[in-house]
Structure 1
């Protein structure tokens, strides 16, 4: 993504994720902004496809499996990658850092071990359980079913509360506590046929981000934290963090998404 388009890309990505919410929960003016973001992204992908170089993956997608043009499918695939492969990872990193700042004992426990990449990778699993970037997911009943005494006829759309399942006291002792020493177990990426295709990439990105942030000793600043208004996706819009200066720089800085 060109440097001059990164802010606009981030705004478009946040809107695409907002578009995952049920239409009745999205204000008309927000729906218009979501539509404009989709148009902008489609145009940007189209421009990339027309460039003579630098769009090898996009060009391969656009040719389709049978060699025929598949531009619409390419745009849809890229939009899905933006919504599920970028913005949700942003949510994971922000939610995870906020959770650690709220639990200084766990942050100290993690940094005491030298915040190694292996330790951070293990911590990411508990952060996914504690405050996942996707809180709920719609599913359609393929057969008549009964859920805890409630009849669910075939064709009914139900919302699976992934965040609630990750706090089930029957599965997790002290479910509302962040404990980085837990065995990795959660439903943040779904399950079975619906398991997130980008789970490995998301884990890798979050581990890398956490490793680099911990190396600069993050501390809270006292600024209020704000969240995205999205219902299905949960991500922080603003989180101020005090960091030690990077090597070669003087003073401390405050970082904000």
Structure 2
């Protein structure tokens, strides 16, 4: 069977996903690792605390023997009880209220970037809009000075590429990942020291002071959280925005629906996440002996959850190959792009707010934009699915 990670499938992996779903619940790849293509099974794994990452127990088959502390976003790689402790502290500081407070600034930022794009006429949507909106927003949330935001963007890019399995990375890419991890650690250590003596109205200051029953986060833990939020808050939202625009280009009937009612943007974002999932291959490891899809799996077994497949499973969604921006306006199965259960994405509220504001302002201000390609280039990453570029021509509303 064709390799699901084959670069030639980046533009269209969905035919293979269909074949995998129809041919069985689990697909062995060797080394105790299975592909999981169906919605029900993916959802069950995400919700079950018997599945985790297994790094600290020494049973992770994806990077055997690797010290998780050397990897970016080590908070993501923890299992209970350490994961629960960290998450409890972070959620006390990174609240929905803090995200909502950014809404006026995100709107102003989107308008500013749209002004420049409309004036330019023709731009790469990824570079001009999808890239800066989440990067600037997360840097502002953390309290990173504006002068350092582009530097953070470069480091985030190196780490994001380094999230792919080590087997597919060059020595240069692995080295760049480690350099970026070190740069982030040094930068955040210095910024955290400043915040301890001069707190500001930002997330980093709240992380410095947050406590739970006398428990506080260490400098390394805060730095790890900052790296995690930068990666999750930047890369996934960038890919969501660009892929959503391209999906609308390929489905003009749904573009017309959103143009007629830009307030649907919040609901439409859920459909964009389902239709072209930004993180299509999260992994989990069995922390104990388990059963999945009718198959008994021993402790230490690994699974690759094909969320891009699960989110198009006809057992969960009606007409899943059809884009429907109103799909999530009513009750029904939810899309799995942000996971759920113990490892539900902390950055999901921010990604939703940013993307909804972007699509609403896009259709309020420049609904006649034109995508200039039917075959955009996809990024080389396996872990993150997104467009490398998307040429677009803008016409301001009311101008022919």
Give the alignment's TM-score, normalised by structure 2. 0.56
Task: Work out whether 1:112 is the aligned partner of 2:260.
Answer: yes
Aligned-residue offset at 1:19: 2.5
Inter-CA distance 206–56: structure 2 relative to 1 (3 Å threshold): closer
Q: Is the 8 A contact 1:41 1:79 kept in 2?
A: yes
Range that drifts further, 200-209 or 61-70: 61-70
Most deviating of 160-169 and 54-63: 54-63
| 2:156 counterpart of 1:7 | no
Give the conservation status (yes or no) of the 8 Å contact 1:49–1:55: no
Decide whether the 8 Å contact of 2:158 with 2:180 is kept in 1.
Answer: yes
How big is the shift at 1:164?
A: 0.7
What's the CA shift for 1:53?
A: 5.5
Equivalenced residues, count: 246
Q: Tell me which residue corresponds to 1:196.
A: 345
Q: Could you say if the C-alpha distance between residues 57 and 192 of structure 1 is closer, same or farther in structure 2, counting changes exceeding 3 Å?
A: closer
Q: Distance in 1 between matches of 2:339 and 2:217?
A: 33
Alignment CA distance shift 1:104-1:223 (3 Å): closer
- Aligned-residue offset at 1:150: 4.3
CA distance 1:138–1:194, shift in 2 (3 Å): same
Tell me the equivalent position of 2:165.
Answer: 22
Could you tell me how far apart the structure 2 residues matched to 1:156 and 1:5 are? Answer: 41
Distance 2:159 2:221 in 1: 17
Partner of 2:381: 230
RMSD between aligned residues: 2.6
Q: Distance in 2 between matches of 1:243 and 1:181?
A: 25
Which of the residues 174, 192, 196 maps onto 1:49?
Answer: 192
Partner residue in 1 for 2:319? 174
Q: Any idea what the Cα deviations from partners look like across 1:138-170, whole Å, max 9, x if unmatched?
A: 111133234335442112121111111001111
Asked if structure 1 preserves the Cα contact closer than 8 Å seen for 2:307 and 2:336, the reply is yes
Which shifted more, 196-205 or 62-71? 62-71
Q: Which residue of 2 aligns with 1:140?
A: 285
Structure 2 match to 1:255? none
Partner of 2:354: 205
Q: Residue deviations 1:41-64, cap 9 Å, x none?
A: 223223323444547542443467
Match in the other structure for 1:92: 240
Query: Is the partner of 1:231 in helix, strand or coil?
Result: coil
- 2: CA distance, partners of 1:246 / 1:43: 46
2:309 is matched with 164
TM-score normalised over the length of structure 1? 0.84
Partner of 1:127: 272
Tell me if structure 2 keeps the 8 A contact 1:63–1:70.
no
Which is helix-richer, 1 or 2? 2
Cα drift, residue 112 of structure 1: 1.6
Q: Which residue among 389, 392, 395 is the counterpart of 1:241?
A: 392
Using CA pairs under 8 Å that are at least 6 residues apart, name the structure with larger relative contact order, 1 or 2. Answer: 2
* 1:100 CA displacement: 1.2
The answer to whether the 8 Å contact 2:286/2:301 transfers is yes
| Structure 2: tracts of 5 or more residues without a match | 1-143
Q: Is the aligned partner of 1:152 residue 2:302?
A: no
Task: Give the match's secondary structure for 1:89.
Answer: helix
Contact 1:64–1:70, Cα closer than 8 Å, also in 2 = no
In the alignment, the residues of structure 2 paired with residue 238 and residue 56 of structure 1 have an alpha-carbon distance, to the nearest angstrom, of 32
